[in-house]
Structure 1
Amino acid sequence: MTQYAVLLPGDESTWENATPEQRAEMYERHGEFARVLAERGHKVTGGAELTHSRTTQQVRKSAGGDVLVTDGPYAETVEQLTGFYTVETDDLDDLLQVCGILANAEGASIEVREVVDHSGDAGMS
């Protein structure tokens, strides 16, 4: 099976301003996503909701080699990475269709990327 990262970008203010009913609806959509994945033979192997991007710590190296740590997201954009799933599947086309459950009509899209498998690389464990 191939492993994919299902990345969930979104406008963080949508969650912050959501009513309890709207939040419950969002959680229901994620529950449906997990249920349909399982029904179709996909396997969720991990994932998490991420804290707000304002809690981000950026780590860089200066030209002199010093480690520089700054607060806040790297990119000043409305959409930030809000969470992710890792999913194992042999059917990418179907996985992409199931990810449509999490996409919304307001234009939010889901990014699906294959995870690099280094298990066969020499010196990697």
Structure 2
Amino acid sequence: MPETIDIQLKKGVLGLCVLAVLARNESYAYEIASHLSDAIGMGEGTIYPLMRRMQTDGLVATYMVESPAGPSRKYYKLTDAGRAALEAQRDEWRGFASAVDALLEPLPATPAPLEEA
């Protein structure tokens, strides 16, 4: 069975992914977790502690929305600091991904040395 991308690598970019999801649309944690589970295979259990930390760090703000079918939901939205963090991390990620892509490219074939006559 082939090895998959290391879980630590996925966890390392999870914050960036959450910021990117919230830049598209304000959302509640379960919906964010579902989206990230589908997109990059990250489980719900990793999202909740991250969301609390992002709120403590001022990257996201929360507000409650009444739900007709159950308890109120806590929605998350990006703050100005969150938008700035997204821009910085996006640029950093793109540079990193380009460097990794370059390393993954096959080496050009080197010509065989010419034999001396």
TM-score by length of 2: 0.25
TM-score by length of 1: 0.24
Name the structure, 1 or 2, with higher relative contact order (CA <8 Å, separation 6+): 1
The answer to which structure has the higher strand fraction is 1
The answer to which structure has the higher helix fraction is 2
User: Larger C-alpha radius of gyration, 1 or 2?
Assistant: 2
